[in-house]
Structure 1
Amino acid sequence: MNATDDVQESDTSPTRVLVVDDHEVLATSLSMVLDAEPDLTSVGVARSLEQARTLVRSTQPDVLLLDHRLPDGDGVSAIPELRALREQMHVVVLTATAADHVLVAAIEAGASGFVSKTRGLAEVTAAVRAAASGEALISPEMLARLLPRLTRSSGARHQELTDREHEVLGLLARGMTNAAIAAQLVVSVHTVRNHIANLSAKLGAHSKLEALSIAVREGLLPDR
C-alpha cells in the first residue's frame, strides 16, 4: 500500500503533527519541513516519552511521528498509552534498522505504519498525509511477511462483518490499494472506501493496518 496512493484531503484544516525523536537535527528538520507544507503543520517536537505525553495532551495532534528508541523508554511499547491520550491520533513509527519483531509489536500496538529515517523528507510528508487519511504505510511484501507473526486469539469481540467486508479485508491483507480492490470487485473506489470505513468501525480500528491487526488477532483472516 503506497503512502501516496488514494490519499484524499477530507477538510481544509492542516494536519497537525507532533514529532517525537531525541535526535535534535532530525527532529528540527522534520518540524521545519512539515511547517513548509500548506496542508501540514508541526505542533511541536518532543525528545522523550515524558515530553510526548505532555505535548499530546496540550497540542492534540492528528499524527504522531514516533521514534522507537527514546532516552526514557521504548516508543513502540508506549503507543497504546499515547493513543489513549488522543484516540483518533495516528502513529507513524520512525525506523532506522528495526527488526521484524519491533515492526510486529508496532502493528499490534496500533501504529498506522512505518517510515524509514533513511528516506527523503518528501517521503515523510507523504507518509504523514497517508496516515492522516487512514492508509496503511507498509509494502505488500512486508505485510505478507509480518501478518503471520501477529498474535492470534480465539473468538471475535466485534460486530459481525458482511461477506463483502470479509472480501475487502482479505484483499487488504494482500496489500492491495483502494483502486486495485475497486478494479478487482468491479465497484467504485468510493464504494471501497465505504466498505473499509464500515469494517474499521466494526473492528474499532482507525487505520487499515490496525484493522488488519485486529482481524488477525480475532481470527477473521484465514491462515496465511
Structure 2
Amino acid sequence: MNQEIRIVLVEDNKAYTKSLLEIIGLSGDMVCVETYATTGSCESAYSADAPPEADVILLDLKIPQKGGLSLVPMLRERAPDSAIVVLTSNDDYRTVLEAIKLGVVGYVLKDTSVADLRRIIREVNDGGSVIDPQLSRHVLAAFREDEGLESGLLSDREREVLELMAEGLVKKEVAEKLGISYSAVALYTSNIYEKLQVPNVAAAVATAIRKGII
C-alpha cells in the first residue's frame, strides 16, 4: 500500500477548514497532520526543533496577522521537501507572480472542484506544479501583447508550447493541439526550462512573464 500524502493546512476559515478536512479524509490516500489558523501559530510550529513533517502544505493568503505569503520563505527553509500550494480566492495576477517567485509550486482558487483539488495535491506530491487555468489565462492576457525586452529568448514554437501548458494542457494535449509529436513537445519543454533556468511550468510562466517573453 502506498504511503499516505501528509498535508499541513494553513487556513483561518473554520467552515472551509472543515470542508478541506473532509476532502482529505475521504480521499483514501491523504491525511492532514496539522492545521494552523494564524501565521504566528504556523511560525511557532516550524521554528521548533522538530517541525511538522508534510508532503504538501496548503496555504491560504488571507490568514490573520502577517498573511500567507510572508510564511513562504520560512516554510521553504524549514520544510524544503514540502510542496507549497496556495489555495485562495485571490486571483490578482501580481500576487500569483509573487507567490511563484517565492517558491510555491501551485496556485489554485478555492472554487476548484473536489476532484481537481485531490488531483492537484497528488500531482504536486509527485513533483509537478500547477497554476489554476483561470489564473494562467488571466496572467497571460495581461502580458501577451507586450513584446518585452527578451521576447527573442524563446522560439515562436516554444512560446506556443509554454502558453498552452500554462493554460493547463499536459504534453499530450499540447501535441494534439499543435499537430506535433509528443516527443517534440517534450523537447520544446526541456529547451524552455533550460533557457529560462527553471525546474517546472509554474516557474517558467512566472519567469517568462517577468522577462516579457509571453
User: Does the alignment reach a TM-score above 0.5?
Assistant: yes
CA RMSD of aligned residues (A): 3.7
State the percentage of identical aligned residues: 20
Closer, same or farther: CA 55–180 of 1 in aligned 2, 3 Å? farther
Confirm or deny: 8 A CA contact 1:79 1:109 kept in the other structure. Answer: yes
- Describe the SS at the equivalent of 1:22: coil
Among candidates 8, 12, 21, match of residue 22 of structure 1: 12
The one-letter amino acid of 1:82's match is: L
Q: Give runs of ≥4 in structure 1 deviating > 4 Å.
A: 54-57, 166-170, 193-198
Distance 1:144 1:30, change over 3 A: closer
**Residues 37 and 55 (structure 1 numbering): CA distance in 2 closer, same or farther, change over 3 Å?**
farther
The 3 A distance-change label for structure 1 pair 198 and 168 is closer
Tell me the CA shift for residue 85 of structure 1: 1.9
Equivalent position of 2:60 in the other structure:
67
Aligned equivalents of 2:42, 2:4: Cα separation in 1: 20
Residue in structure 2 matched with residue 50 of structure 1 by the alignment: 40
CA spacing shift, 1:142–1:12, aligned 2, 3 Å:
same
Alpha-carbon spacing, 1:81–1:170, altered in 2? closer, same or farther (3 Å): farther
Count residues in correspondence: 198
User: What is residue 130 of structure 1 aligned with on the other side?
Assistant: 123
Normalising by structure 1, what TM-score? 0.68
**Structure 1: stretches of 5+ with no match in the other structure:** 1-10, 156-160
Q: Tell whether the 8 Å contact from 1:19 to 1:42 is kept in structure 2 after alignment.
A: yes
| Higher Rg | 2
Maintained 8 Å contact 2:58/2:84: yes
1:33 corresponds to 2:23:
yes
TM-score normalised according to structure 2 size: 0.71
8 Å contact kept, 2:72–2:104 = yes
1:131–1:16: structure 2 CA closer, same or farther, 3 Å change rule?
same
Q: Which amino acid is the alignment partner of residue 35 of structure 1?
A: G
Deviation at 1:208, TM superposition (A): 1.9
CA 1:97–1:195 in 2, change beyond 3 Å: closer, same or farther?
closer
User: Gapped runs of 5+ residues in structure 2?
Assistant: none
Shift of 1:97: 4.5
- The separation in 2 between residues aligned to 1:143 and 1:107, in whole angstroms, is 12
Structure number with greater CO (CA < 8 Å, separation at least 6) is 1
